[in-house]
Amino acid sequence: MRLVIARCSVDYDGRLTAHLPSALRLLIVKADGSVLVHSDGGSYKPLNWMSPPCRLTEHPAAGDEPGKWTVTNKAGETLTITITETVSDTSVDLGIDPGLVKDGVEAHLQELLAEQLHLLGDGWRLIRREYPTPIGPVDIMCRDDSGAHVAIEMKRHAGIDAVEQLTRYLELLNRDPLLSPVQGVLAAQTIKLQARTLAEDRGIRCVVLDYDAMRGIVREGTLF
């Protein structure tokens, strides 16, 4: 890894064109050739960058000409860094990183709701999770207290797409005289207002789920 503190301007020309006026910045060149241009703020995202695989060509300063780096990738995108002043330029070998270990993934939510259908109504019974249809599985298929079928679409964050998806399932399921009528429920931790509006316009019930509470109920249930 090479770290350069330099006054530079940056131009990217690829999927869009972007320009950075001259300023003091941190340039990171990683072992795979990728280049990151960071300022002293913002967030983890660089001001500009080139992802690997790519190639860095360095044109040293010569006379009045400032130094220039050009980074290109296979798609022909280019990042051009014009360096007018170099404050520092150091390299270090970090070796290969063992990598990140993540915990706490959430396909879990569906499992929890299947166990806690009473959150939707007393007397609701599970038919099955991942109920198969020709256009894909319905997340949860169940019956309400009157025995009528209900298809549940689950999302962590429900947008318009979730409503469209559930609508397609309902349209198909309701063609089957053995199932019809099938009601729809959209269940998610958050539901965008537009999605809610569209869903309710189509007679689909919206339910906001409290993941922590649902997890808590399970904890108590398994503890005693």
Partner DNA sequence: ACATTTATCTCGCTC
Partner DNA sequence: GAGCGAGGTAAATGT
State the nearest-atom distance from the C-beta of 78 to DNA, in Å. Answer: 9
Interface residues with DNA (CB under 7 A) are 12, 14-16, 18, 42-45, 48-51, 73, 77, 79, 99-100, 102, 105-107, 130, 132, 135-137, 155-156, 159-160, 192-194
Could you tell me which of 190, 203, 184 has the C-alpha nearest to residue 142?
184
Give the Cα separation of 137 and 21 in Å (integer): 51
How far, in Å, CA of 37 to CA of 25, rounded? Answer: 7
Q: Which token pair is 96?
A: 């290969």
| Closest by Cα among 91, 11, 5 to 49 | 11
CA-closest candidate to residue 11, choices 88, 60, 70: 70
Q: Is residue 167 close enough to count as binding a second copy by CB under 8 A?
A: no
Q: Do 79 and 51 contact (CB within 8 A), yes or no?
A: no
8 Å CB contact between 188 and 106: no
Under the binding rule (CB under 8 A), the answer on residue 135 touching a second copy is yes
Which string of x and - marks every residue 79-118 that binds a second copy (by CB under 8 A)? --------xx-x-xxxxxxxxxxxxxx-------------
Site for a second copy in 11-40 (CB under 8 A): 16-21, 23-26, 28, 30-32, 34, 36, 38-40
Q: Is 42 in the site for a second copy (CB under 8 A)?
A: yes
Q: Which partner, DNA, a second copy, none, binds residue 222 by CB below 5 to 8 Å per kind?
A: none
**From the list DNA, a second copy, none, which binds 59 (C-beta under 5 to 8 Å, kind-based)?**
none
Nearest distance from C-beta of residue 93 to a second copy, angstroms? 8
In this complex, which beta carbon is closest to DNA, that of residue 65 or of residue 161? Answer: 161
- SS3 label, residue 11: strand
Crossing angle between the packed helical segments 211-223 and 108-115, to the nearest 10 degrees = 60
* Residue of 59, 68, 168, 202 that binds a second copy (CB under 8 A): 168
Least separation in angstroms between residue 71's CB and DNA is 9
Dihedral angle over CA of 182, 171, 119, 111, nearest 10: 110
For residue 62, the 8-state DSSP code is B
* C-alpha 172 chain-centroid distance: 29
Interacting stretch for a second copy, rule CB under 8 A, among 10-18, 56-64, 117-125, 140-148?
Answer: 10-18
Q: Which residues bind a second copy (CB under 8 A)?
A: 1, 3, 5, 16-21, 23-26, 28, 30-32, 34, 36, 38-49, 51-52, 87-88, 90, 92-105, 134-136, 160, 164-165, 168, 194, 197-198
